[in-house]
Amino acid sequence: MNEEALMNLSNRMQNDFYVGVVGSVRSGKSTFINSFFKLMVLPNIHDEFLKHKIVDELPQSAAGKQIMTVEPKFVPSTSLELDINDTKLTLRFVDCVGEIIPSSEGYGNDSEPRLVKTPWYDEAIPFKEAASIGTEKVIYNHSNLGVYVTSDGSFGEFKRYEYEAVEERLIPKMKEMNKPFVIVLNTKDPKSSQAEKLSKSLEEKYGVSVVCLSAVNMTQEDCNRVLDKALSEFPIADLEISLPDYIEVIGEDISLKKEIMDTISNVENKYKKVKDVQHICEELKSSNLFSGVKLELLEVSTGTASIVLDLDASKYQEIVSELLGNHAESRADFIEYLYKSRKANEVYEQVKTAIEEAKQTGYGVSIPRVEDMKLLAPTVIKKNGMYGVKLAAQAPCIHMIAVNVESSFTPIIGSEEQSKMLIDSFHMDEDNTEEMWNKEFFGRKLFDIVNDGMKSKIYHMPDRSKEKIKSVLDKMMNSNHNSLIAIIL
């Protein structure tokens, strides 16, 4: 017996195989559960007593328009512990009427509604109410997977439009609940072109997988199709999209990287289910950004997928050109640029952490590198009548302090009204400061004016003060006390 689909799905449901079977009356829910148990569940029960007990608890299918019961029914009444291929799983189905078809009989009239017992309330509640709260309770609280059974009207007393009306009310509700579910279109003849056509149109209408079958003559293959489709309705648990390593190392300030990341996040936001993984690949392909889109792994039992993207040589060139700008016009240009970049990077590596800390906290200190350390000449020391050797080292350690420098500019332009008009002409838009900085006053850009003001403040800091600050820091770093009072004049 092929249990792969059952095991995969059970794994995805953390081995709690709780299925809520909902739909309208007489769509074939009870028949579906009966067939499923006979084909997939009973063969895995080896205790004859238990088998008989479960057979007794299977729901009865009923014909005609007369409704006997609407109360949700747990099948079996207590969850079943199964051991299939050394995997233990707990299984339970709930059979539940979602909504009553108006032309059905036997549920009483509004003035005298028939009362039924439900698992959710101590007291009996009206038939209609039991039916409509059932779907929500069953799907939300009592199952990890929903099966919505509907019919094309090819058997029984009800017409297709009657099932359709119930679908239109219940399926959107189930979608809102955000639990995976699959639609089973129950028909007398699943091979007929009408049934196939209807199944396709339902799939398009609701965006949910549809399996067309005959619940009375269900086969193991039908069961596996339902299980496979149900699995594909689960959310993608982990999607790994990998890019060439040279894309991983650059930031989104490089335009191609931004375009790639936007495309990826777009598809990730658009497609959420396991069945969509193929669509994700197709959409990535159609973006024309990638020379290769390969689905390397799709593990349905865990919802894990991995897609590997590749770019052609022209995209690599595009990135190199953007990084180099006009520094590659001659060999000398290019080598000089690389050389300077290497030198700059050496310095940057030394002070990188200090800069980051200064940006975050206002103060950062670089850790000296081995090559910056100077070993001082060893000296002989005497302590408590004993002699020893003192080995010491020194290293410049760069302190970065973020000091806010303010620079202001006060164009005197005339009347109060003119001043207000000038203010109104500034668009204080944080995302578009470029326009403001480029505004000209007396023939100079605002940026240049403000920048000059800042530079002049920075250059005017007296050397004596700089030396004093340095000497205070020297003392503070090398003393054993980490607090110091300094008065710098």
Residue 69's binding partner, choosing from Mg ion, ligand GDP, none, with beta-carbon cut-off 5 to 8 A by kind?
none
Q: Is 27 in the site for Mg ion (CB under 5 A)?
A: no
Q: Is 315 in the site for ligand GDP (CB under 6 A)?
A: no
Q: Is 214 in the site for ligand GDP (CB under 6 A)?
A: yes
Retrieve residue 321's tokens: 């050109």
Q: Is 366 in the site for Mg ion (CB under 5 A)?
A: no
Residue 20's binding partner, choosing from ligand GDP, Mg ion, none, with beta-carbon cut-off 5 to 8 A by kind?
none
Residue 215's binding partner, choosing from ligand GDP, Mg ion, none, with beta-carbon cut-off 5 to 8 A by kind?
ligand GDP
Find the shortest distance in angstroms from Cβ 71 to ligand GDP: 12
| 3-state class (DSSP) for residue 181 | strand
Q: What is the CA radius of gyration of the chain?
A: 37
Q: Quick check: 300 and 232 in contact, CB under 8 A?
A: yes
Q: What is the CB-side half-sphere exposure of residue 477 using CA atoms within 13 A?
A: 15
Q: Is 191 in the site for ligand GDP (CB under 6 A)?
A: no
Q: Which is nearer to ligand GDP, 28 or 134 (CB)?
A: 28
Q: Which is nearer to Mg ion, 36 or 290 (CB)?
A: 36
- Name the β-bridge partners of 224: none
Residue 27's binding partner, choosing from ligand GDP, Mg ion, none, with beta-carbon cut-off 5 to 8 A by kind?
ligand GDP
Q: Which is nearer to Mg ion, 156 or 303 (CB)?
A: 156
Q: Is 98 in the site for ligand GDP (CB under 6 A)?
A: no
Find the shortest distance in angstroms from Cβ 133 to ligand GDP: 18
Angle between helix axes 220-232 and 29-36 (nearest 10 degrees) is: 110
**Amino acid, res. 177:** M
Q: Select the span of 22-30, 48-56, 344-352, 454-462 touching Mg ion (CB under 5 A).
A: 22-30
Q: Is 25 in the site for ligand GDP (CB under 6 A)?
A: yes
Residues 8, 30, 232, 350: which binds ligand GDP (CB under 6 A)?
30
Angle between helix axes 193-206 and 160-176 (nearest 10 degrees) is: 30
What lies within 8 Å, CB to CB, of 181 at 6+ separation is 20, 139, 145, 146, 147, 148, 174, 208, 230, 233
Rounded CA gap, 284 and 260, in Å?
9
Q: Select the span of 30-38, 151-159, 209-217, 383-391 touching Mg ion (CB under 5 A).
A: 30-38
Q: Restricting to residues 116-175, name those near ligand GDP by CB under 6 A.
A: 155-156
Find the shortest distance in angstroms from Cβ 94 to ligand GDP: 12
Rounded CA gap, 37 and 58, in Å?
8
Q: Is 61 in the site for ligand GDP (CB under 6 A)?
A: yes
Find the shortest distance in angstroms from Cβ 221 to Mg ion: 24
Q: What Å distances lie between residue 63 and 49, 336, 462, CA to CA?
A: 30, 88, 100
Residue 209's binding partner, choosing from Mg ion, ligand GDP, none, with beta-carbon cut-off 5 to 8 A by kind?
none
Q: Quick check: 289 and 243 in contact, CB under 8 A?
A: no
Instruction: Note the helical H segments in 403-462.
Output: 416-425, 434-437, 446-459
User: Phi then psi for 330, rounded to 5 degrees?
Assistant: -130, 170
Q: Is 26 in the site for ligand GDP (CB under 6 A)?
A: yes
Residue among 429, 453, 425 at smallest CA distance from 440: 425
Residues 11, 30, 104, 224: which binds Mg ion (CB under 5 A)?
30
Find the shortest distance in angstroms from Cβ 112 to Mg ion: 24
Find the shortest distance in angstroms from Cβ 261 to ligand GDP: 49
Residue 63's binding partner, choosing from Mg ion, ligand GDP, none, with beta-carbon cut-off 5 to 8 A by kind?
ligand GDP
With b meaning 16 or more CB within 10 Å and e meaning fewer, what string describes 278-293? eebbebbeeeebbeeb
Q: Select the span of 24-32, 264-272, 292-300, 388-396 touching ligand GDP (CB under 6 A).
A: 24-32
Q: Quick check: 273 and 303 in contact, CB under 8 A?
A: no
Helix (H) or strand (E) holding 83: strand 73-84
Residue 315's binding partner, choosing from ligand GDP, Mg ion, none, with beta-carbon cut-off 5 to 8 A by kind?
none
Find the distance separating the first CA and the last CA of the chain, reported in whole Å.
91
Find the shortest distance in angstroms from Cβ 63 to ligand GDP: 4
Q: Is 188 in the site for ligand GDP (CB under 6 A)?
A: yes
Find the shortest distance in angstroms from Cβ 61 to ligand GDP: 3
Site size toward ligand GDP, by CB under 6 A:
17
Q: What is the CB-side half-sphere exposure of residue 446 using CA atoms within 13 A?
A: 12
Residue among 72, 154, 65 at smallest CA distance from 106: 65
Q: Which is nearer to ligand GDP, 25 or 267 (CB)?
A: 25
Rounded CA gap, 271 and 277, in Å?
8
How are beta strands 112-113 and 108-109 bridged, if at all? antiparallel
Q: Is 28 in the site for ligand GDP (CB under 6 A)?
A: yes
Q: Is 12 in the site for ligand GDP (CB under 6 A)?
A: no
Residues at the interface with Mg ion (CB under 5 A): 30
Residues at the interface with ligand GDP (CB under 6 A): 25-31, 61-63, 155-156, 186, 188, 214-216
